[in-house]
Amino acid sequence: MEILIIQGSARKNGNTNKIVNYIQEQLDCDFIDLKNYTISHYDYDSRNRNDDFLPLMREIVEYDLIIFATPVYWYAMSGIMKTFFDRVTDCLKIEKETGRKLRGKTMAMVCCGSEKDVVLEISAAFEMPFRESASYLGMNYVGSVYTWMDTDDISGEVIQNLDKFIGKITK
């Protein structure tokens, strides 16, 4: 199974990236940092066809499992991740064949905050755009994990949660 992690964070080497690095080591998978690409906001007139989004999507659709990793910003996914999700519309309107390749793929989500106790407050609402987007695109959504970093290192509890998540999504 070909696995890809897509990170959408304002900081390339922040806490979300620490979590991503751990997952990547466990799964030996590929990684894309959205910060390395120029992806314009969705445009109904499609005047942004020459940015990096469509070429990037042509690569992404070749993977079997796509894990989205985002920090928690104001109880929602990061802006760069939201822009990416908005642009998936281009795969439904401009490059339909690319969009069709998402059908049957598997999606999961990892989010990283700074507080352990936030998990109960944000889980269902935070997860909804990922879960419902997967459903709309004909993808199999296999779940999410909330992580937190309150020190410079990943805590043992977070590692346990990540290991359980990894086991669940790679069945």
Complete domains list, the chain, with CATH: 3-169 (3.40.50.360)
pLDDT on residue 122: 59
pTM: 0.95
Residues in the chain, overall count = 171
Amino acid at 105: K
End-to-end Cα distance, the chain: 10
> Which residues have C-beta within 8 Å of that of residue 62, sequence separation ≥ 6?
2, 101
pLDDT > 90? residue 32: yes
Task: Report the percent of the chain where pLDDT is more than 90.
Answer: 85
- Least reliable range by pLDDT among 19-23, 101-105, 145-149: 145-149
Sign of the dihedral defined by the CA atoms of residues 169, 22, 125, 68, in that order: negative
Position of tokens 């109904």? 44
Q: What mean pLDDT do residues 15-43 have?
A: 97
Residue 34's nearest CA partner among 104, 87, 76, 106 is 87
Per-residue pLDDT tens digits for 110-156 = 999 888 776 655 578 889 999 999 999 999 999 999 999 988 899 99
What does the alpha-carbon distance between residue 78 and residue 15 come to, in Å, rounded to a whole number? Answer: 13
